[in-house]
Structure 1
Amino acid sequence: MSPITEPSFAHLLPPSWTSQVQAWLDEDTPSFDWGGYVVGEVQREAFLFGKGKTEAVLAGVPFFDEVFKRLECEVEWHLKEGETFQPVKHVATVRGKARHLLLGERVALNAIARCSGIATISKRFKDIAEQNGYKGIIAGTRKTTPGFRLVEKYGMLVGGIDPHRHSLSSMIMLKDNHITSAGSITAAIERARAVGGFTLTIDVEVDTEAAADEAIAAGADVVMLDNMDATQVSSVANKLRQKWDGKRKWLFEVSGGVEEGNLREKATNDVDIISTSAVHQSVQHIDFSLKIQQPKD
């Protein structure tokens, strides 16, 4: 019997993801490749360097690999995905025709730079929370770049945090606009449960203790305390846990304004989930470069 292989985050990717890579390549070279004409198809070797100024997490390996696979190039990694490195680090070596190396260069670097940037700050958020004694979940949000969500959610996973919901179909989240349109928190939850059944979690956004209480009474699985300060969060969470002890089960989520600078304040064990867009919106990319090497004599 063959041994079971170690699971990889790449195994999570859907069958359709490789078509996105082709779309990236098509976007980058919609017509003639003028520079490729200059270099031709001589075989060359290129070194991928991880640069920047601080320690970083390597993420986005499947996307980088797929770019060059489509261009008939081979990639040899000198670092495992998820490992950290200090710049400047020779991360990988890519071999293939010079024209093909340059066709894939920018597309592959863009993907790995963004993905690694998200993984790096995700790991930093997780580390800060754990150092503060937080035992709950750090999660991203759905405020991702259109067309690039898969890469950004992947970076969160590699960085060690929860990617939260991937789309409108993966969880039922009822926010203020849903509640206003439905007429009440209770009505919104009842309608959602009627069609979502037992397989979908219902997450309800609230901004007052009374609203949180109503959400719990109506059967919310997750109650998101939105834009409350740490004192309010602790007060609401403790009061409602006491009130509903033994009667209801749910999780408290905190969201809104969570940043690296205030994470220690927010990371209280009165809440189960801390969700933030700060791990992917406006994140500094990790600087990578691909350098074709001079052929050896």
Structure 2
Amino acid sequence: MASFYGDLQHLLPSNYKSLVSSWLEEDCPSFDYGGFVVGESPSEAKLLGKSKGVVAGVPFFNEVFSQLGCSVEWHIHEGSSITPITHVATVRGPIRKILLGERVALNILARCSGIATKASSLVSALRDNGWSGTLAGTRKTTPGFRVVEKYGILVGGADPHRHDLSAMTMLKDNHIWACANNRAADDGGASSVNSVADAIPRAVKAAKAVGGFATKVEVEVRSVEEAEVAIEAGADVIMLDNFTPDGVRSAARKLKEEQRGRSFLIEVSGGLNEGNAADYACPDVDILSTSSIHQGTGIVDFSLKVSLR
């Protein structure tokens, strides 16, 4: 589902155009032998949706052909669900340029639409189960393709989560262990469970000091006790990572009841997918985060067919 607040392409950074340029260059780094055969005569091609899914990736598709001097007329809105076979758009321009951009444009559209489809499906399943919280992706994205994957998540109606290390301070288990080890080394001893618990408030304080008021701090915890320490230290988001469904329900309820006077969100992550996410969805959980909606997902199949004159 596309955002009802406005056109999502207005979110895109200016560098997405340079990414498209690099993808075109990668696909044709020297001579276009096939293009030489067909020439430059004006032509048009139909973009056909050949499988069920949610269409996403329109601005990237448009930019591919814009850079090649072609135009795209869309016959549906981004975020629409399609069934085979749907005439989704028409591309017009020199035939060589249409074919030059064909594979790059289709690859982007297919992948982005596959992500939007998976995200939309899981959001709908959770809503049907009565859960009103936030479904989010993760930072397990493909290098160089992150902006497309995050965009697909948004079109599908899910939350993209943080885009990069600067978007939010997330103190994961390795951060906490590293702080505990550093403190233990300074004290001339080995780290322990107690030193790990002690490291959480020190890590949160340091993150708050440099991130300022505008940067939220999230802490990954392994137990209710660690979560309590993190909340008291001022963490904005608590991640219950790799808890069982029953463990999540118990921990989330206990934290929300005991820490009623504090403002924080509870996120659940670790192995969530379409088959088990509903087991973790409960009123005390604010966020479910999963890489299953953008990592290893399928595609929506599209083809570009040149019209015969």
Q: How high is the TM-score relative to the length of structure 2?
A: 0.91
1:91-134 deviations in whole A, cap 9, x for unaligned? 00101111101110000001100110000011001100100000
1:132-211 alignment runs, 5 A limit: 132-183=129-180, 184-211=199-226
1:217-268 deviations in whole A, cap 9, x for unaligned? 111100000011111011111112222222x110000000101011221222
Identity of aligned residues (%): 56
Confirm or deny: 8 A CA contact 1:153 1:163 kept in the other structure.
Answer: yes
- The worse-fitting range, judged by mean Cα deviation, of 209-218 and 22-31 is 209-218
**In 1, distance between residues paired with 2:139 and 2:89?**
31
Runs of at least 4 residues off by over 3 Å? none
Cα drift, residue 42 of structure 1 = 1.3
**In 1, distance between residues paired with 2:279 and 2:85?**
34
Residue in structure 1 matched with residue 39 of structure 2 by the alignment: 40
SS at match of 1:253: strand
Residue in structure 1 matched with residue 75 of structure 2 by the alignment: 78
**In 1, distance between residues paired with 2:204 and 2:81?**
43
Aligned residues: 287
Confirm or deny: 8 A CA contact 2:256 2:284 kept in the other structure.
Answer: no
**In 2, distance between residues paired with 1:255 and 1:79?**
35
Residue in structure 2 matched with residue 278 of structure 1 by the alignment: 292
Q: For 2:10, give the aligned amino acid.
A: H
Cα drift, residue 7 of structure 1 = 2.3
SS at match of 2:235: coil
- Find the partner of 2:272 among 251, 258, 263: 258
SS at match of 2:304: strand
1:105 aligns with 2:119: no
Residue in structure 1 matched with residue 14 of structure 2 by the alignment: 15
Residue in structure 2 matched with residue 240 of structure 1 by the alignment: 255
Q: How high is the TM-score relative to the length of structure 1?
A: 0.95
1:29 aligns with 2:28: yes
Cα drift, residue 153 of structure 1 = 0.3
**In 2, distance between residues paired with 1:108 and 1:27?**
13
Confirm or deny: 8 A CA contact 1:57 1:83 kept in the other structure.
Answer: yes
**In 1, distance between residues paired with 2:224 and 2:246?**
13
SS at match of 1:93: strand
1:199-223 deviations in whole A, cap 9, x for unaligned? 0010111111111111111111000
Residue in structure 2 matched with residue 60 of structure 1 by the alignment: 57
Q: For 2:35, give the aligned amino acid.
A: G
1:287 aligns with 2:267: no
**In 1, distance between residues paired with 2:253 and 2:301?**
44
Residue in structure 2 matched with residue 120 of structure 1 by the alignment: 117
**In 2, distance between residues paired with 1:7 and 1:258?**
30
**In 1, distance between residues paired with 2:157 and 2:244?**
26
- Find the partner of 2:88 among 88, 91, 105: 91
Q: For 2:206, give the aligned amino acid.
A: R
1:20-65 deviations in whole A, cap 9, x for unaligned? 110110110001111101111111110001112xx31110000000
SS at match of 1:260: coil
Confirm or deny: 8 A CA contact 1:118 1:283 kept in the other structure.
Answer: yes
Confirm or deny: 8 A CA contact 2:249 2:280 kept in the other structure.
Answer: no
Residue in structure 2 matched with residue 3 of structure 1 by the alignment: none
Confirm or deny: 8 A CA contact 1:144 1:280 kept in the other structure.
Answer: yes
**In 2, distance between residues paired with 1:81 and 1:95?**
19
Confirm or deny: 8 A CA contact 1:233 1:270 kept in the other structure.
Answer: no
Q: For 2:250, give the aligned amino acid.
A: S
Structure 1 regions of 5+ residues with no counterpart?
1-5
**In 2, distance between residues paired with 1:237 and 1:145?**
32
- Find the partner of 1:216 among 231, 236, 244: 231
**In 2, distance between residues paired with 1:88 and 1:171?**
42
